[in-house]
Chains A and B, each alone.
Chain A
Amino acid sequence: KNQVEQSPQSLIILEGKNCTLQCNYTVSPFSNLRWYKQDTGRGPVSLTIMTFSENTKSNGRYTATLDADTKQSSLHITASQLSDSASYICVVILNYGGSQGNLIFGKGTKLSVKP
Chain B
Amino acid sequence: DAGITQSPRHKVTETGTPVTLRCHQTENHRYMYWYRQDPGHGLRLIHYSYGVKDTDKGEVSDGYSVSRSKTEDFLLTLESATSSQTSVYFCAISEESGTYEQYFGPGTRLTVT
Contacts and interface: CB of A to CB of B under 8 A. Distances in A.
B50 A103 contact: no
Interface stretch (B12-20, B72-80, B92-100): B92-100
B42 A107 contact: yes
Interface in B93-113: 94-96, 99-107
B99 A49 contact: yes
Nearest to A50: B99
A106 B41 CA distance: 8
Contact of B43 (A41, A89, A93): A89
Given A32-B99, A43-B90, A49-B99, A4 B104 contact: no
Interface of B: 1, 4, 30-31, 33, 40-45, 48, 50, 56, 58, 90, 92, 94-96, 99-107
